Structure 1
Amino acid sequence: MKQTAQTPAPGLSLRRQLLLWLLLPQLVLWLAGGVLAWRVALNYAEKGIDQSLTQSVRSLARQVKPIGSGLLVDFPRAAQDILEQDPTDRVGYMVSSPPGQFVLGNGQLPPPPGNLVIEAGEPLIYEARLADKAVRVALLEVNYGDADSPQRLRVQIAKSLAVQQRIARELVADMLLPLLVLSLLLGALVYAGITRGLRPLKRLEAQLGDRTGRTLPALPLIELTQAPQEVHSLATAVNQLLDAVRRSVGQEKRFLNDAAHQLRTPLAGLVSQTELALQETSLPAIKDRVVKVHAGALRSAHLVHQLLSLARTEAEVNLQSLDLAALAREVAREWTPKALAAGVDLGYEGEDTLLVQGEKLLLRESMNNLIDNALHYAGRGATVTVRVRSEAGQGVLEVEDDGPGLSGSDRGHVFERFWRASELPGGCGLGLAIVAEIANRHGGTASAHAVLPTGLLVRLALPLSA
């Protein structure tokens, strides 16, 4: 059963992601500010309540006056009404002497914790529970009586913590409400800024959409006159991609045009020779036609091989460290039988080891073309030397012959595609063009030089391995 690949569902839009990452920290900070404001408000409210309780307990203590061994409590009804005026948050007070023995008040108040040290004349604040409610209690003890019979008076005033929480809520509300309004205003400004900032991407999307349906050579480059640096970088990357694709398509078209143009002539010759062979009646004439067909087929096969090699050189090159000297000796040994058959003395000289950056398959192809070209055009009785050496921080491969060589004007065309210096059969004008292309793909150079008295030297310079 055939399965089709499913297109992954798109994630959050860039606008939503930016809003999320910009507004979410604001919300977190607003909540953290609310908690911090609540704690600060509770602290200040507690200080205010403690100050009020301290003043009240001192005032109440002043209303209790010792007379001899007794007490005179001057606690007017108006003061009592003030303490008890709020029925929802009633203030508790208690006077006891000795401490803990009720004398006056509106209820029994809890004693202080046992670990607290009480000093006469110094107010003490502590928290307790009264009727299952949390209260804050102010306590003040004073001494009275004479030296023979000293006595101590305790005054306590308690106030519920509900007042503290109510004050804290009011303070927090007064602080957070303006902050909330400011946060909403800031969120609106952030949304407007994101919308404005994403406009160049919208323009880029529109320009790319306008190119839909056009052929690749007709695609103009993307132009953004006013855009952030990141969008300019994106447009530059897209333009580079379009340029790379355009070059790739151009190379393919050029390869197809070259192949069609170069294969048309030998194929037409093969067809005509086979037609003439079919019309011949004598065996020698037929054999002569077959020989010509075979030669044409060999030339066509060589041309196809060269065209495929040329196409391969235009692909991406995976450079790695390799021994150029060892590769040159290996290729020279492989060509030795053909050199002997052609009556050419083929030899190697130079470095034993020389590491360069290159791709072994392509460098082998360039050496094959250089040696094949030298053997083909140098002629019988010539000498061909393959040489590897280091020069000016580069690895140099040279193939030198003492054949007829080329004139100065011809050497300027030697690396052009399909250019041939002579009409000797067997060549197609692509060998040295492939060498130049391979050198270029390796970040090197290819050059041709005259040899005195006669001959030609083709040099391939490559970057050394680190």
Structure 2
Amino acid sequence: MKNNNHWQRMQVTKRSLQRQLLLWTVLPLLVLWLAGAGIIYAVSLHYASENNDAHLSRLADTLAAQVIKAARHESASTAESINAAAQLLLKSGPEGQLHYAIQFGDRKSVIGSAIAPFKTTPSDQNRQIFSDISLENRPYRLLSAYYAANHAENQPEVIVEVAKDLSAQTATLNQYMLRMALPLVAMMLLISVIIWFGVKSSLKPLVLLKQMVETRQAQDLSPLVLENAPEELNALSDALNQLLASTEGSVNRQRRFIADAAHQLRTPLAGLKSQTELAMRESNPEGLRDRLNMVHTSATRSIHLVNQLLTLARSEPGSPNGIPKVKMDLARLIRDLTGELVPRALAARIDLGCDCLVQEAWIDGNSALLRELFINLVENAIKYIPRDGSVTVRLTETATQYVVDVEDNGPGIPDADKQRVFERFFRREQTGNGCGLGMAIVREIVERHSGTVELLDAEPNGLIVHVVLPKNLFIA
């Protein structure tokens, strides 16, 4: 139940790559379009306001000039003539309704209609004051202009107010923005459709890869082949192919191990079964003892084979049962295991010696596997050289490597067999209790430690197993 809930949460929270690409492509365009429209509207409104202010300023100057001219001639019909001129000058047109008011210095005589009325008081320091007002629920732009008195020229002090209705201008600007927005919206929709087709076409190889993975059988580990795929998707398919190749290699190693183990265990187990059957039918105590000895020998060989197979499986790269790396002294390991094998060498009349030219050889390695590696080399040398022979384990170093040589003075190995001895279950001689896995184990352990192993001829005779391990050791 818990797993089902977790899966449902994953289903709810999963996201579509195509939807995200469309969102992050179309959304910025939409934001830029709205921002552009807002900027255009603000700039248009700014220039329209500047034109309005300039127009109102010219009107105010003209009205003030008419008032000053009438005052100089002391016309009896000053108000009537100014009103007539003002009506002609401020005649309503497409630019909007205009209103005016003129106040003289006595602050009592007003020509026209009071607009604000005269709530702002311009002066010499602030000759023109612009403001936004509302008349009859309509927006107006108001200019209050001050013209100082000049008694020498019979010029009175005059304050002129001119207001312009902005409703028509606002409607015109809105119509302009609407007419501009319609083609932009159509263009935005067209661009969105183009982007949608582009994203869908670009993601088609990814959909194809998804279908290839979904429809593939679990046993099919062949590489995925994508044609005309983009570089990023090729990198993904290459990574998947590497994973498939690694999985195929692991599966093949497991199959080979199972096949080899079944093949190799079949013979000793069949022999063990036969010997036990014969022992069960044996009535002679001496014959029964001989049969039991043969059973013991077969069981010992089977145990040795199983141990070798387990070591081989553990030493393969990618094995989940491998022992983690530890910091260890390779020189001490070689000295200790050489000392442990001295009694066995003496029993076989073999002179076993250790020549460590390096006092300490610290590496990061798998101590159990490295121990198995060198025990196999020394035991093979003891097993396959004649009596009264000698085996020497030698440790040297270079700037970047440690070199371990296991040298004996036996008959050696022909060049034709020097590579074959590393094959699993290859035995040059069918005598003895060996199972042909010792050198295969050696190769697997060395390769897992990023090293190399090769067989060289010793002088004047014999064999050298030459193992090279890097100093900066990291297990694969």
Q: Is 147-156 or 10-19 further displaced after alignment?
A: 147-156
- The one of 323, 331, 334 aligned to 1:325: 331
- What's the secondary structure of 1:93's corresponding residue? strand
**Aligned mate of 2:131, from 112, 117, 127:** 127
Tell me the CA shift for residue 339 of structure 1. 3.5
Q: What is the 5 A alignment of 1:342-421?
A: 342-350=348-356, 351-356=358-363, 358-391=365-398, 393-421=400-428
- 2-structure distance, mates of 1:460, 1:278: 49
Q: 1:188 aligns with which of 170, 193, 204?
A: 193
CA distance in 1, matches of 2:342, 2:354: 11
Identify which of 314, 317, 325 aligns with 1:315: 317
The one-letter code matched in structure 2 to 1:345 is: D
Match of 2:440 in 1: 433
Aligned counterpart in structure 1 of residue 458 of structure 2, from 446, 451, 456: 451
CA distance in 1, matches of 2:227, 2:70: 93
Cα gap change, 1:148/1:87 in structure 2, threshold over 3 Å: closer, same or farther?
closer
- Partner amino acid for 1:408? D
Matched residues in 2 for 1:255 and 1:125: separation?
Answer: 99
Residue among 299, 302, 320 paired with 1:297: 299
C-alpha contact (below 8 Å) 2:94/2:168 kept by paired residues: no
Measured after TM superposition, the shift of residue 102 of structure 1 is 4.1
Q: CA deviation at 1:112?
A: 6.8
Counterpart CA distance in 2 for 1:80 and 1:222 is: 87
Residue 416 of structure 1 and its aligned partner are, at CA, apart by: 1.7
Where structure 1 has 5 or more consecutive residues not aligned to the other structure, the ranges are none
In the comparison of the two structures, how many residue pairs are matched? 460
1:179 and 2:184 equivalent?
yes
Displacement of 1:256 in angstroms is 0.7
Which residue matches 2:267? 265
The gaps in structure 2 that reach 5 residues or longer are none
| 1:251 aligned residue | 253
Question: What are the equivalent positions in structure 2 for 1:5-404 lying under 5 Å apart?
Answer: 6-7=6-7, 8-9=10-11, 11-64=14-67, 65-68=69-72, 70=74, 72-73=78-79, 74-75=81-82, 77=84, 79-80=86-87, 83=90, 85=92, 90-98=97-105, 100-111=107-118, 118=124, 124-130=128-134, 135-144=140-149, 146-147=151-152, 151-162=156-167, 165-212=170-217, 215-216=219-220, 219-316=221-318, 322-350=328-356, 351-356=358-363, 358-391=365-398, 393-404=400-411
1:163 Cα offset (Å): 5.0
The alpha carbon displacement at 1:295 in A equals 1.1
Describe the shift of the 1:128–1:236 C-alpha distance in structure 2 as closer, same or farther (beyond 3 A). closer
Determine if contact 1:112/1:126 at 8 Å carries over to the other structure. Answer: no
Over the aligned positions, Cα root-mean-square deviation in angstroms equals 3.1
Deviation for aligned residue 1:181: 1.9
Q: Is the CA contact 1:416–1:433 (under 8 Å) kept in the aligned structure 2?
A: yes
Distance 2:41 2:106 in 1: 37
CA distance in structure 2 between the partners assigned to 1:4 and 1:344 by the alignment? 67
Q: 1:206 to 1:127 in 2, by over 3 A?
A: same
**Percent of aligned pairs with the same amino acid:** 38
Contact 2:53–2:130 (8 Å) recurs in 1: no
Structure 1 residue 382 displacement after superposition: 3.2
- Cα deviation, residue 314, structure 1: 1.8
Would the aligned equivalents of 1:46 and 1:164 in 2 still touch at CA under 8 Å?
A: no
Between Structure 1 and Structure 2, the one with more helix by share is 2
Aligned residues of 2:71 and 2:156 also touching (Cα < 8 A): no
Name the SS for the 2:388 alignment partner.
Answer: coil
Larger deviation, residues 437-446 vs 168-177: 168-177
Q: Partners in 2 of 1:139 and 1:181 — Cα distance?
A: 45
